[in-house]
Amino acid sequence: MESTGWMQRCLELARLGSGSAAPNPMVGAVLVQQDRILAEGWHRAAGGPHAEVECLRAFGDGAVPHDAVLYVNLEPCSHRGRTPPCVDLLLERGVKHVVIGQLDPFAEVNGRGIERLRQAGVNVLLGIEEAQARWLNRRFLVSVQNGRPYIVLKWARSHDGFMDRHPRSSREVQRISSPSTDVLVHKWRTEEQAILVGSRTVLNDDPQLTARLYSGRQPLRVVLDREGITPPGSKVYDGSTPTLLFTTANRSELDAEQVLLPEDRDPLPTLLDELHRRQVRSVLVEGGAALIGHFLRSGLWHEARVITGAVFFEQGTVAPVLTDPPQRSWRSSNDRIDLQMNQSPESKWGVIPDPSWLW
C-alpha cells in the first residue's frame, strides 16, 4: 500500500475520536513495516494518551524495526501539556521514519515537532493527504488559528419552506424530519462540544437539546436570552446536563451558569469569545430564524446543514435561504440534506468528503 493508503487508515482511526477527543484534535497513528501493520492507535479523549503513544504501546516493548514507518495525520507534539511530548517517545523508541499529514498550528508545536525529529536524524515526510487531514480537524484548526469556535448552522424546513407552522397550538417541537434523520441530528450533537439556541426557541419549542437518540458525549447547552424571557421550568434548565446562559439580567432562579452580556452590543462576539476561552472548539447552532439569520448576516459561520422534510406547513416562520448552491446533497429517508460551506477564506477547505465518509 502507498503512503496515501496508510494515511487514509490514520484518518479512519482518528475519526474514532469524534465526540470524545475535543478540545484536542482527532489523531490516528499506524506503524508499518514493508506493507504490514505492526500496530495502530488513536487519541480517545483529552488528557489521555496521544495516538502515537497508543500505537507504540500496542506494538509492545520490543525494538522498533529500523525500516518501520510511523504514519500520523497530525504533527507529533513537542511540548508537555497534560501528557509528555510524543516526539520524546518516538526518539526513545528509535522510530526512524515518520510520515505526517499536516502541521499542528498550535503555537507550542507548529513545526517544532518536525524540526526536533529531523535534527535527531529521523526521516520525515510531510503533507500526505493534507486536505483530508485538514477537513477532519477543521474545528480544531479554526479554533486555534482564528480564536473562535467552528460554527455549524443546522435547521429544518418544511417542503414548502417554513421552519414551523402557524398558529402554534402547544409549546413543543414541531416535527419536520423523519425518525432516521432525527437520529443523525443527535449524532451531530455528540460531535460538537456545544449546542446553541435563542430565547424564542426555548419559549416556543421547549427543547431538551440532548443527544438522546445516539450514544456519545452530551454537548454543553447554550442559551442566548438577552431579554430574560425563557421560563424557569424549561427543559434546558432541568439540570440533566450543564447549561450556559448568556443574558443581560441575573436569572438566579435558573439551574444554569450565567454570563452577563453588554446591553448595547451585538451578543455574538461576546458569546463566541467566552466559549473560546472555555476551549469550546465547535458549536452546533439549532436556533430559530432570527438567530440563524444573525449568524448568516454576520458571516460568523463555517458550515450549514439544511434538512428539507416532506411535510407541508402552508404558513409559518419562513426558513433562511442560502444564495449559493450546496456543495453536497443527499437523502435521509424522505428528507433531503444540503451541506453548504461559508465561502470566506477560512472556510475554503478545498475538499469536502462524500457524506458517507463524513457522517
146, 179, 213, 163: which is closest to 319 by C-alpha?
163
CA distance linking residue 71 with residue 30, whole number of Å: 5
Are 25 and 133 in contact by the 8 Å Cβ rule? The answer is no
CA distance linking residue 249 with residue 225, whole number of Å: 9
Angle between helices 289-298 and 267-277 (to 10 degrees): 80
Phi-psi region at 87: left, alpha or beta (left = phi > 0; alpha = psi -120 to 50): alpha
Q: What order of strands is seen across the sheet that includes strand 243-247? A: 257-260, 243-247, 220-224, 194-198, 282-285, 150-157, 303-308, 335-341, 328-332
In the set 2, 12, 52, 303, the catalytic residue is 52
Distance of CA 2 to the CA centre of its chain: 29
Are 31 and 37 in contact by the 8 Å Cβ rule? The answer is yes
Task: Give the single-character DSSP code of 5.
Answer: H
52 is catalytic: yes
CA distance linking residue 26 with residue 292, whole number of Å: 28
Are 275 and 151 in contact by the 8 Å Cβ rule? The answer is no
Element (H, E) at 201: helix 199-205
CA distance linking residue 41 with residue 54, whole number of Å: 5
Positions annotated as catalytic residues are 52
